[in-house]
Amino acid sequence: MIRGGLIVIELVSLVVLLAKMVIVILVLLMLPIPLTWLERKIAGHIQQRLGPMRVGWHGLLQPLADGIKLLTKEDHIPDEADRLLFTLAPIITLVATFALFVVIPIGDPIQLFGQEITLYLADMNVALLYVLAVSGIHVFAVIIGGWASNSKYAVLGSLRTCAQMISYEIPMGFAVVGVVMLAHSMSLVSIVNSQADVWNIVYQPLGFFVFFIASLAEAQRIPFDLAEAEGDLGAGYHTEYSGMRFSLFMISEYLIVIFLAALNVILFFGGWNDFLVPLPSILWFVLKVGFFVWLFMWFRFTFPRYRYDQLMSIGWKVLLPLSLANILVSGLILS
């Protein structure tokens, strides 16, 4: 009897986990659709124009038109390209991006039909290490895509990506050490719970500054988009991609922005913990992440692109020393 009850509990847990996985995948696949429209609208208003207006009310159907265009475009592979790697690269980048969201918690547990449902797929005690490791797979996909294209522009873009990611992942990793010291854990759920009273931004302003700038570079957004600079590389590492293969890279790019926005919120701005106004935890989390996504888009249409030597200098000569100084100061204060 006891064994049968345990089997039922395990089956229920498995069904809940599978349901959460399906929901997460569907949401992640759908999110880039409104974000493309939103980014064009933000760009339009910053540049004193209207943005998309033709297709649907205020251009709301423009993402649908873009999707139809990408579905019907020719799926072109260059003659001298490595066809296997050329095909695998966009798949790897999308799978690696999806894998990052496994450890992202979005709110307090909820009760449903007498069952407690946690709002995350996995609560790893080494979640931060997992995030830093899996994000490196995305870099491999970009390098493979550029090299497999057998195009000088694409190869140069992928090499730029490699150097940029190495230069900024190091200070990014050091920037979160202070947060780990405060939370005594690398679990993202524990880090959020440790900010129930005071958010980490109060104790770690320098760590946040370094992490946020490194996030912009990791997302390859202006002013750090040297990997796909239109002015000198055509389109960078995905120059030779078209149709749905190209769209996989674009979906991944938008999801990386959402992921890094969520990570900034979780590590430094209390996750789903409220501030003054008592709203549902998941709503607070969505509002905070939305603000950071808007911030990423605002930066894109406000700041000019750095030269490559400036990009490297900021990573190695500014952010790395600041992140190390933040670790030393945090250690001294906490000791």
Each residue's pLDDT tens digit, 24-41: 899 988 888 888 888 888
Contact at 8 Å (CB) between 236 and 164?
Answer: no
Domain-located, residue 9 = no
154: left (phi over 0), alpha (psi -120 to 50) or beta: alpha
Q: Which domain holds residue 179?
A: 74-334
pTM for the model: 0.89
**Residue 277: its H or E element:** none
Domain-located, residue 195 = yes
Q: Compute the average pLDDT of residues 82-96.
A: 87
CA distances from 308 to 159, 215, 231, 278 (A): 12, 17, 13, 45
What pLDDT score does 133 carry? 87
Domain-located, residue 35 = no
Domain-located, residue 5 = no
| Among candidate residues 183, 198, 196, 16, the one with its CA nearest the CA of residue 111 | 16
Residue at 85: amino acid letter? L
What pLDDT score does 322 carry? 93
Mean pLDDT lowest for which of 168-177, 198-207, 298-307? 298-307
| pLDDT 10s digits, 127-175 | 888 998 888 887 888 888 888 888 878 888 788 888 888 888 889 999 9
What is the number of structural domains in the chain?
1
Q: Compute the average pLDDT of residues 247-262.
A: 89
Domain-located, residue 45 = no
Domain-located, residue 15 = no
Dihedral angle, C-alpha 217, 219, 222, 225, nearest 10 °: 80
Domain-located, residue 56 = no
